[in-house]
Amino acid sequence: MEATPKEQPKVQPKAPPEFFVSIGPHMRTEESTAKIMWTVNAALLPATLMSVYFFGLPAILVIIVSILAAVMAEAGMQKLLKKDVTVSDGSAFLTGLLIAMNVPANIPLYIPAVASVVAIAITKHLFGGLGYNVFNPALIGRAFILVSFAKPMTTYTQPVANIMAMDAKTMATPLSLLKEDGIAKLLEVYPNIYQDLLMGNRAGSLGETATIALLLGAVFLMIKRYITWHIPITFIATVGLLTWVFGGKSGLMTGDPLFHMMSGGLILGAFFMATDYVTGPSIRIAQVLFGVSCGALTVLIRLKGGYPEGVMFAILLMNCFAPLLDRGMRSRVFGKAAAKGVKK
Amino acid sequence: MTTDKVNYGTIIKNGIFGENPVFRLALSLCPAVAVTSGVKNGFLMGVAVLFVMTMVNGTVSLLRNFINPKVRIPSYMFIIATWVTVTDLVMAAYARDVYKQMGLYIMLIVAFAIVLSRAEMFASKNKLIPSMVDGAAMGMGFLLALVLLGIFREALGKGSLWGYKFVETKPLLIMIMPTGGFFAMGLMMGWLNWIDRKFFGGTGGGGGGH
């Protein structure tokens, strides 16, 4: 679903002759890759501001470094591969921003830079550039640094709500507390857990904490119709349903869906990363299946896997299946006979 | 290549560059990814394969007129298994430490596609000496590929070469994991193809090339 109509010269003369017939298309959209990408960047603005509010100066530095590294990697790779440099379309900017949103605030700055370079150079450009990448670049970048630098990537800090605070106390995320120490410890550290989750007053990656700011951006994108409900809502609903059924300690149907839906990177991942046009399916029914599968995999990893959070791996795994889903769900063209000797 | 005049230079060049088992034929990638987390392991594996391939090609070449074509593949497997067992036992006897780490993979040489493919494609049609040279050249190509991958991965993943550290910084741990093996393999294959295309006028791409 590459919404990049070619720039075509407008052929409509000002005073048309009596019988002017032009060749279609007659209606053109004003959308372009650049416009969509910058709008998504704008939709992430509330969450970015909240992260700066909660984590202070380190957050600003991480955001600047990630974006700069991503943009430079994009320009460098495009120069190297002798392509047009399309830095201004905002897609590298978005990748960099998403990487910044996905790392802890007090991380050594070279780590997000490595992630940005891996994301842009390897995941995107070695696979053919924008529109050809199989996996979400930002998530591959994050997976790369999560495996390479496990310790700094999982050392989260307490939100300080102080712009100049350079060193904050470390603090576990709600999900890892739940996984390692159980519900009692979780409530001890986070007494107002729901409120903290909603506002973002909790330990976590930069952009994943402020649920309400992320939802604001998501609603904006949905109103603009840049994303539809098919992937994110099914994704989140599946996580809610499955954690409600299987997430409780005292039997079935005792889990806490609200907690699971608002914690971790689920909101960020579901609205801003699973909905990537390039790496997700584009047929509606396939999108629903994609969302449900992402949700199921996330819950599986959260409840049974080694990592406390599974959104990233779930989306990456399902990225592999996106072309298959699209192909499998393609509606048959009416009146078209199956080609002889070609089996589906 | 059944003529009497055999150009050994071509055979050797072919084994190391033109049809490099790992980077060109893309055969035996599984061990190439599995054992190259360090230079040392890659080197020893390469040496073992070099030995096995030379001996297997020689044996197959000697027996090529006695093996019924209908049962040639099982026969080759027997020959390969024999030489792998020899390698295995020799390593078990004289290189205990390495054998403990690599023993499993040494046995797996039996299943390496490159060994069987050279027996079938070259040794079964050529005389003894050219066959052995071909086996050695192919083994050399495999060895070089493994050492290259090992250097790349160990330097990035552990910051060391042959076990000696040269930097103290935190390394890119992912490079010595299986994932990193695939990263390294893909990057290196692309890089070598690029070199081939740029400087030697080749067509790049796997599967034999020029």
Cβ-contact B157, B175 below 8 angstroms: yes
Distance from CA of B79 to the nearest CA of A (A): 41
Spatial distance between the Cα atoms of B120 and B131, rounded to a whole number of angstroms: 11
Instruction: Report the distance separating Cα A297 and Cα A34, nearest Å.
Output: 32
The neighbour count for residue A340, using CB atoms within 10 Å, is: 5
Report the chain A residue with the minimal C-alpha distance to residue B190. Answer: A126
- CATH C-level class of A33-329: mainly alpha
- Per CB-CB distance under 8 Å, the chain A contacts of B175 are 148
A51 or A19, greater pLDDT: A51
**Omega prior to A16 cis, within 30 of 0:** no
Question: What would the mean pLDDT of A9-30 be, rounded to a whole number?
Answer: 68
Tell me the residues of A at the B interface, defined by beta carbons under 8 Å apart.
Answer: 114, 122, 126, 144, 147-150
* pLDDT band, residue A344 (cuts 50/70/90): very low
Query: Does B166 map to a domain?
Result: yes
What mean pLDDT is predicted for residues A91-118?
92
pLDDT above 50 (res A61) = yes
Nearest to A298 by CA among A316, A323, A279: A316
Chain A residues whose beta carbon lies within 8 Å of the beta carbon of residue B189: none
CB contact under 8 A, B190 and A149: no
List the single best residue of A146, A148, A317 to mutate versus B (max B Cβ within 10 A): A148
Give the model's pLDDT for residue A204: 85
- A321 pLDDT above the threshold of 80: yes
Please report, in tens digits, the pLDDT of each residue of chain B (210 residues total): 445 567 888 888 888 888 888 888 888 888 888 888 888 888 988 999 999 999 999 999 999 899 988 999 999 999 999 999 999 999 889 888 878 877 788 888 888 888 999 999 889 888 999 999 999 999 999 999 999 999 989 888 888 888 788 877 767 888 888 888 888 888 888 888 888 888 877 665 544 433
pLDDT digits (tens, 9 = 90+) for A278-294: 999 988 999 999 999 99
Nearest C-alpha in A relative to B183: A122
Q: Is B76 part of a structural domain of the chain? A: yes
pTM of the model: 0.82
Chain B: closest CA distance from residue A126 (Å): 9
In this structure, is residue B206 part of a structural domain?
no
* Domain assignment present for B208: no
Does residue A338 have a pLDDT over 70? no
Q: Identify the band that residue A4 occupies on the pLDDT scale cut at 50, 70 and 90.
A: low
In chain B, residues with a C-beta closer than 8 Å to the C-beta of A150 are 173
Closest CA to A48 of A286, A259, A210: A210
> What range does the domain containing B183 cover?
8-194
Whether B205 is in a domain gets the answer no
The answer to the question of residue B204 being in a domain is no
pLDDT at residue number B208: 40
Rounded to an integer, what distance in angstroms lies between the CA atom of residue A170 and that of residue A161? Answer: 14
Answer whether B183 sits within 8 Å of A122, measured CB to CB: yes
Q: Is B160 within the bounds of a domain?
A: yes
Chain B residue nearest residue A148, CA to CA? B173
What is the structure's pLDDT at A337? 63
CA distance B158 to chain A (A): 11
Distance CA B101, CA B82 (A): 22
Give tens-digit pLDDT for B18-61. Answer: 888 888 888 888 888 888 888 888 898 899 999 999 999 999 99
**Measured CA angle at B188 (ends B183, B194), to 5 deg:** 130
* pLDDT tens for each residue of A65-82: 999 999 999 999 999 988
pLDDT at A22 over 60: yes
Could you report how far apart the first and last alpha carbons of chain B are, in Å? Answer: 16
Average pLDDT, chain A: 85
pLDDT of residue A255: 81
Q: Scanning the structure block, which residue is given the tokens 């699209």?
A: A326
Domain count within chain B: 1
Q: How close B195 comes to chain A (CA, Å)? A: 14
Domain residues of chain A, as ranges?
33-329
Question: Measured between CB atoms, which of B172, B186, B190 is closest to A148?
Answer: B172
Q: How far is CA A135 from CA A102, A119, A310, B149, B158, in A?
A: 16, 9, 16, 25, 27
* pLDDT score at A185: 82
- Give the closest of B174, B187, B190 to A144, CB-based: B174
> Alpha-carbon distance A215 to A275, whole Å?
14
